[in-house]
């Protein structure tokens, strides 16, 4: 079974009306190769304007949303609000949210399930810190982050999940994981899914890599058998994002 290549651009807390317009012009002028899913995740305040201006060939993602339909949750967004605006994806569990906003893996799993149940697909982010890699606990950390998600979701709901493996030491550092390092963890995650969810889900689920991906290193990474795409930070704000979209072409 071949998994459709998936490239996400996480804009994080970057952008302005003018900067977004320039980036959207670049994206709209680019050719998105057939058989590639492209998704961009602007800050919440720009979701609607980006969705309106961007080619329908590119999907738009939130960077986070909460596990309630509506109500007294100041500062939060409901998945139904995203769906209402044509925002079809959300990130969950990005390492910056785990670190700065103390999101636990259980909370991430709860929000992941709720988003899927309300029509929003999820890019679920996992990955180890430098000290954890150095301690040799990378696999354990990834498994512990995945376990609550696997507990929460039905087999069918995995069709609406992409897993982003983003080693924290590679994010924004320019220290990209080598293709072998990334492949090793992606293969582990797939084997973990086979053992803890099902062989079918393991085979079908896209596992994308994030952490200092750029126009130069993307091709070799994309050639690895278990790397099904990328979640791009810094380079998603630049024209080289177009090169990354075509890494498999």
Ligand X SMILES: O=C(CO)COP(=O)(O)O
Does 145 interact with ligand X (rule: CB under 6 A)? Answer: no
Q: Find the catalytic residue in 67, 94, 128, 132.
A: 94
Greatest distance between any 2 Cα atoms in the chain: 48
Does 103 interact with ligand X (rule: CB under 6 A)? Answer: no
Report the C-alpha gap between 244 and 229 in whole angstroms.
9
| Beta-sheet pairing, 36-41 with 229-232 | unpaired
Nearer to ligand X, 197 or 213 (CB): 213
Beta carbons of 150 and 194 less than 8 angstroms apart: no
Does 212 interact with ligand X (rule: CB under 6 A)? Answer: yes
Question: Helix, strand, coil proportions of the chain in percent (round to 5)?
Answer: 45, 15, 40
- Segment contacting ligand X (CB under 6 A): 49-57, 110-118, 183-191, 208-216? 208-216
Would you call 180 exposed, middle or buried from its count of C-beta atoms within 10 A (0-12, 13-18, 19+)? exposed
Report the C-alpha gap between 207 and 38 in whole angstroms.
14
The one among 79, 93, 211, 229 contacting ligand X by CB under 6 A: 211
Total residues binding ligand X (CB under 6 A)? 14
Is 76 annotated in the active site? no
Give kind and range of the element (H or E) at residue 209: strand 207-210
Shortest Å distance, C-beta 73 to ligand X: 24
Nearer to ligand X, 146 or 197 (CB): 146
Query: What six digits make up the tokens of 87?
Result: 């925002």
Instruction: Please list every residue from 162 through 181 that binds ligand X, using CB under 6 A.
Output: 166, 171-172
Does 42 interact with ligand X (rule: CB under 6 A)? Answer: no
Is 48 annotated in the active site? no
- Segment contacting ligand X (CB under 6 A): 30-38, 79-87, 149-157, 228-236? 228-236
Shortest Å distance, C-beta 112 to ligand X: 16
Provide the 8-state DSSP code for 4. Answer: P
The one among 213, 218, 221, 244 contacting ligand X by CB under 6 A: 213
Query: What six digits make up the tokens of 90?
Result: 């959300």
Site residues for ligand X per CB under 6 A: 10, 94, 166, 171-172, 210-213, 231-235
Active-site amino acid positions:
94, 166
């Amino acid at each position: 079974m071949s998994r459709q290549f998936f490239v996400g651009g996480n804009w994080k807390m970057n952008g302005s009306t003018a900067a977004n317009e320039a980036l959207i012009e670049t994206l709209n002028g680019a050719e998105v190769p057939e058989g590639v899913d492209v998704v961009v995740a602007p800050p919440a305040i720009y979701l609607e304007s980006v969705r309106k201006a961007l080619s329908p060939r590119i999907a738009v993602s939130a960077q986070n949303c909460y596990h309630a339909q509506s109500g007294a949750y100041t500062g939060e967004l409901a998945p139904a609000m995203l769906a209402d605006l044509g925002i079809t994806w959300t990130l969950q569990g990005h390492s910056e949210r785990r670190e700065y906003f103390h999101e636990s893996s259980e909370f991430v799993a709860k929000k992941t399930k709720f988003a899927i149940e309300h029509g929003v697909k999820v890019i679920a982010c996992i990955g180890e810190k430098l000290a954890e890699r150095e301690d040799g606990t990378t696999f354990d950390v990834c498994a512990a982050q995945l376990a609550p998600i696997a507990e929460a979701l039905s087999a069918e709901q995995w069709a609406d999940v992409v897993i982003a493996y983003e080693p924290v030491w590679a994010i924004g550092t320019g220290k990209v994981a080598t293709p072998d390092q990334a492949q090793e963890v992606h293969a582990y995650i797939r084997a973990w899914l086979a053992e803890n969810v099902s062989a079918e889900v393991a085979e079908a689920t896209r596992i994308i890599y994030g952490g200092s991906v750029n126009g130069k290193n993307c091709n070799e990474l994309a050639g690895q058998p278990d790397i099904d795409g990328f979640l791009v930070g810094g380079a998603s704000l630049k024209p080289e994002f177009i090169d990354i979209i075509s890494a498999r072409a």
